[in-house]
Amino acid sequence: MAEAVAVSPDLRASERYCEQMARREAANFYWGFIALPRSQRTAIYALYDFARQVDDDADLVNGAGRGALLDRHRARLRSARSGDTTDPVMSVLASAMTRFSIPRREPEMLIDGVAMDLTTTRYETWDELVAYCNLVASVVGRMCVRIFGFRDPRALQLADDLGTALQLINILRDVREDAGRGRIYLPLEDLQRFGISEEQVLSERVPQPAWRALVAFESARARDLHTRGLRVTELIPLQAAVCVRTMAGMYSRILDRIERDPLLPLRQRASLSAATKVAVMARAWLQAV
């Protein structure tokens, strides 16, 4: 029934813009959601495109100028309207927010998370890191679940857990890249627990036994959250569940690589081959049968 809703020519053009942007900027993401009904698919792409625009603008300039750019995105949200041909991403996102009952506060939280990256380079505790993950990852999962539709409000909490898991896997994967920018996302309390200093992480000269123990600890934490969060697939429609299992499965494979070789994040960014990605997609579909 949802697909029968009339769509104006202007909105349809904006949807094509969002699809093209998602395919150009994130081909894996684009194909990961291609099986969704059109209204859901274009809403997901618009959400990705908005997040990408916010993140890219935060990287464009230094100092106070970045805050001004983020304020501009907050203004875009406040004035967003479906059919606005001057801002196709916001046109589709505004339509999706109305159609799928997405509170404006949720995309605003995403901007808040990007803003944290402008001022925060360390997290003292796990609770502090979780608060950050909620802003940059979990809230995205919540919005996706609203777009998919869900049978039980527990789906929103499970989306939070899965989002935190995926962000923690990102953090483990990107240790070297983040260190090059002077950033350490792993909680400082955990570094201290395993006898690792900030200077050792930034210089990539970490004692191997201690680092292996730290990675095992954080990987177990990510695995637990991932397993718990993946239960969201029991509470959303089948096609959406396949998409979530595909994306989550790729992150699980990255975590597999890090668990097998804990020193990998100190050398390079873990990635997956095309064959592995295809295998993950196939497995997601088989699990749905």
Average confidence score pLDDT of the chain: 92
Q: How far is CA 111 from CA 87, 144, 166, 169, 184, in A?
A: 18, 16, 19, 21, 20
- Which two tokens mark 233? 């697939």
Average pLDDT in the 184-195 region?
98
pLDDT band at 31 (very low <50, low <70, confident <90, very high): confident
Q: What is the pLDDT of residues 51-86, one digit of tens each?
A: 999 988 887 756 567 888 899 999 999 998 887 888
In the DSSP assignment, the letter for residue 37 is: -
Q: Match 């191997």 to its residue by tokens.
A: 208
How is 55-84 classified by DSSP, letter by letter?
HHHHHHS-THHHHHHHHHHHHHHHH--TT-
pLDDT score recorded for residue 2: 44
Average pLDDT over residues 111-126: 95
Phi-psi region at 83: left, alpha or beta (left = phi > 0; alpha = psi -120 to 50):
left
Considering 55-64, 123-132, 200-209, the range whose residues carry the highest mean pLDDT is: 123-132
pTM above 0.85, yes or no: yes
Residue 1 predicted with pLDDT over 50: no
Tokens of 105: 């506060």
